Chains A and B, each alone.
Chain A
Amino acid sequence: MKNRIYIQKGRTLLPDNIQPEDIFLNSVEVEKVDIRRWDCFNNKGDCHLEKVYGAFLEDISMKEIGADRMVRKTTECQSRWLIAAGVSTWNAHHANNEINDAAGLYLGLGMVDCDDGDDEHKFIESCTAQYLSDFKLTHNKPLLGLILLNSTAASHISKMTGIVGPNCSFAPLTDAGSNALIEASYDLREGRIMHALCGGGSQKITPWLFLAYEDYWQSHDKLWLTEAASFVTMSAVPAISHNSGSEVELYRYYRGRISGQHNSLSAVIFRAFNETAQYREFALQQVLFVGYQNQQRRINDIMSEIGRDVAWCFIENKLGYTGAAGAALALNVAICLLDKNVSIYGEQASNLVTDRKRLVLLVISGAEQQVGYLLIGDKNSNE
């Protein structure tokens, strides 16, 4: 018999210490700045985007999670966000950090950690490879190699949590975060692990990020990037007593790539809705679209076609694009909506009146036509 999967709310890091519930329930807005102030964007011809906003996370203290000096020496802030959010999420649900080979670690990582240092370039005084070589060999930080390696964050999280089980880190966009959640779900369902720490972090916002994704963003007319990290824990056994909140059950999940008529975006979304219909005793409380900032018109059309009277919204409209953090962040939002019995219609939150158990559908879009969904809901004691 396949295991059931329970998901517990975890920690999310957003700019200015805002929490997802502040944004979605209390209309708090993430403060974003126009990053066209960067010199590189001063000449409009250099940037096709009309608007580029960024919301920035502060670097984070590692003290609260008891990190040793080596963590700071082998990471930049992008990894530190991930480590802090991951370790504190695990600690909230697992009292000790003993070695646990029944626990797995599944991450969505940004592209690379150490990517924004002017120091790396402005030193170059002489335009030769020999100078470059000499300079690098004498000025490199001794542990630079580990800083460059984005999976170093996984190693630190493993050490600080005692997680030594199956693991996988995907990178670098929204699909990376959803692949992490879905891979963990399969491993839980199949009994490879009993517990999982899952989540992701966004790539730090720098000119390098713009360079790497310039092609990817060609079809966008505006861009709102938000630095974030977000985690959940997953378990094959319920961790929280049945009547308390902040724990939900995962019912269905899917990932693939849309291509052609039979696996079109609308076919996938229709299929996801059909899956919800199989849970007759449940009401579909909410649909959250993640990673669709550039396809909202298409989603509007599909939702009209589906014609279901259901609350739905785009996560990015409220908090910007968070890359590999997006899927776990949306999952935390979904748990929060179930907890508070609230639905979001577009931009508007309203209380839900139902005596039925509730479901939330997350539909996630990633790079190069990747799509996935997760269907979560109240724990089902009758199944």
Chain B
Amino acid sequence: MNRDVVVSGIGIVSPYGVGLDCFWSAISSGVSAITKWQPPGVTDFPVSYAATIELTALASVFPKYFMKEHFSKNSLERRFIFGIIAAELALKDADAQPGDLSRLGISVCSGIPEIDDKTLVNLAAINSDNALEQLVAKRNSLVNDYSGIRCSNDVLATELARKYNCTGPVFNINGACAGASQAIGVAYKSIQRGEADAVLVGGGDSVMNIRTLSALVSLGAASTSKRFGDALCRPFDENRSGLVPGEGAAILLLEEKESVARRGGKTYCRMLGYGSSLDAWKVTAPHPKGRGAVASMSRAIDDANISYDDIGYINAHGTSTQLNDVVESEAIEAVFKSHCDNSLLVSSTKSMIGHWIASSGAPEAVAAIMALKHQCVPPTINLKQADERCRLDYVTGKKRETSLNYVLSNSFGFGGINASLIFGRV
């Protein structure tokens, strides 16, 4: 059984605001969401630019999602709130009631639990040898409602499953920065093979806390440069200096084609291919020849049963890190060969929205789908002088209108976990 799978709804909570329109309008116009940022109460944190969401603004639009009693959990991290709102928006966009969707499943990635700064600071009150034990005993007074300390990492999946009364499979996937793309890919296969008829897919993540960002700084992954101001995120540029964090959630409704037709829903595009791979290399760096990246893209193209020169646009992982951007560019050249010199367009929307870490594949899949829908590729901004090893057409500076039949979205995670997705016109 190989059933046709389509994207029938999209919901997104991004630093631009709530919804798809403002997201697409901004990224297709090359508007950056990255601004100066510091953790509250800190003046000299080395990560000084980020694309963040103002929680109080979100709470004024969706007050119910900020009430404890709305959830089964005592505590809900912001990344889960973003995800739950995005899922509601996706269903609304699809004009679908959960009851309309038979065997609805969930397949999401929302990273690993974070400890918010407020909770960590509160822990100062338990400075002793049995700090953790005391933490448990005093949890209600010490732990912020938005802390990951009191959340399992599958809360987004399980809350959505409960809320929408799902009867299909429920997946919470952890695949580093490729996690959301893997979640989309696994769900696509699940519908294709008849295990589910519709699946809410994607992810939500936020790493806007001292604990995680300081770990990213220690790894040398996050940019600490102040040289370019809010033009800091410069994928493929010779002066790129590391990832710039972002946050948000994007949830898509993947649906079996006949299911959409039965309920008279709309279709953004077909989902046609998924590839995943492992580098079997160092945990600190991608394989220098892009072994995993090549395999991931090649498998997706094989899965879609199309030719590599059918792909018109690649939404690159494009992190603005020294290693990724070169390896990814060279891997694209290895897979697409002469097609790179013809009409293949590549861009990194991270240049505008930052790196949403575990969920990054979801907004980037949305960007690729919207490019297909509007026949218009969003740009890579801040790219002034490409690294000499980055030799592709990166759609520099402003959007480009073009004719697209198939698009591909890459996600290449820490430790060499890779995923590629292919979408095609209806």
Contacts and interface: CB of A to CB of B under 8 A. Distances in A.
Interface of A: 38-43, 46, 70, 74, 99, 101, 105, 109, 111-112, 116, 118, 121-133, 136-137, 140-146, 148-152, 154-156, 158-159, 161-173, 175-176, 179, 183, 186, 190, 206-208, 210-216, 255-260, 263, 366-370
A263 to B, nearest CB: 5
Interface in B8-67: 39-46
Contact of A146 (B128, B158, B171, B219): B219
Contact of A368 (B103, B129, B170, B283): B170
A144 B129 contact: no
A256 B103 contact: yes
Contact of B129 (A118, A136, A256): A118
24 contacts: A39-B130, A112-B153, A116-B132, A118-B130, A121-B120, A129-B41, A129-B210, A132-B121, A133-B39, A133-B44, A133-B45, A140-B214, A148-B215, A152-B415, A163-B280, A164-B277, A167-B277, A170-B172, A172-B172, A176-B154, A207-B135, A208-B149, A255-B169, A257-B168
A107 to B, nearest CB: 9
Nearest to B106: A257
B226 to A, nearest CB: 16
B150 A212 contact: yes
A105 B193 CA distance: 20
B103 to A, nearest CB: 7
A366 B208 CA distance: 31
Interface string B141-164: 001000001111110011001100
Contact of A211 (B126, B139, B186, B275): B139
Contact of A370 (B170, B278, B299): B170
B121 to A, nearest CB: 6
Interface string B123-140: 111111111111111010
B195 interface: yes
A43 B277 CA distance: 49
A151 B174 contact: yes
Given A99-B291, A369-B161, 7 more contacts: A101-B295, A124-B124, A137-B218, A140-B217, A155-B417, A159-B281, A171-B174
Contacts of A366: 170
A264 B215 CA distance: 44
- Give the one of B73, B132, B153, B158 with max A CB within 10 A: B132
Q: Which of B120, B217, B275 has the most CB of A within 10 A?
A: B120
A127 B175 contact: no
B292 interface: yes
B195 A122 contact: no
A126 B418 CA distance: 42
B347 to A, nearest CB: 27
Contacts of B45: 133
Contacts of B214: 133, 136-137, 140
B279 A121 contact: no
B131 to A, nearest CB: 4
Nearest to A206: B132
A151 B130 contact: no
A166 B277 contact: yes
Contact of B276 (A156, A166, A176): A166
A167 B124 contact: no
Please tell me the size bucket of the interface on B: 35 or more
A155 B415 contact: yes
| Residue among A150, A152, A156, A370 having the largest count of chain B Cβ atoms under 10 Å | A370
Contacts of A144: 215, 218-219
Contacts of A161: 280
Contact of B283 (A39, A111, A152, A169): A152
Counting chain A CB atoms within 10 Å of each CB, the highest count among B43, B129, B278, B282 belongs to B278
Contacts of B112: 111-112, 148-150
A70 B282 contact: yes
A321 to B, nearest CB: 14
A126 B127 CA distance: 10
B218 A122 contact: no
B127 A124 contact: yes
Contact of B175 (A42, A125, A130, A151): A151
Chain B CB within 10 Å — which of A133, A144, A154 has the most?
Answer: A133
Contact of A148 (B41, B133, B137, B212): B212
Contact of A164 (B143, B279, B415): B279
B359 interface: no
A131 B120 CA distance: 11
B17 to A, nearest CB: 27
A170 B173 contact: yes
B74 interface: yes
Given A121-B123, A142-B218, A146-B415, A215 B72 contact: yes
A129 B74 contact: no
Contacts of B127: 121-125
Contact of B132 (A131, A162, A208, A256): A208
B72 A136 contact: no
A70 B193 CA distance: 39
B216 interface: yes
Query: 9 shortest A-B CB distances, which residue pairs?
Result: A155-B415, A129-B41, A40-B136, A39-B133, A158-B278, A145-B215, A368-B158, A136-B214, A127-B124
Contacts of A255: 169, 195
Nearest to A103: B278
Contacts of A136: 210-211, 214
Given A112-B153, A129-B40, A132-B121, A215 B73 contact: yes
Interface string B313-324: 000000000000
Q: Taking each of A154, A210, A211, which has the highest tally of chain B beta carbons within 10 Å of its own beta carbon?
A: A211
Contacts of A101: 277, 295
B295 A152 contact: no
B148 to A, nearest CB: 8
Contact of B278 (A141, A155, A190): A155
B414 interface: yes
A359 B136 CA distance: 45
Interface in B170-221: 170-176, 179, 182, 186, 189, 193, 195, 210-212, 214-219, 221
Given A122-B128, A368-B170, A140 B417 contact: no
B166 interface: yes
B363 interface: no
Contact of A105 (B128, B132, B278): B278
A212 B166 contact: no
A164 B295 contact: yes
B307 to A, nearest CB: 20
Contacts of B139: 211
B416 interface: yes
A96 to B, nearest CB: 13
A144 B105 CA distance: 34
A211 B218 contact: no
B74 A215 contact: yes
Contact of B217 (A131, A137, A175, A369): A137
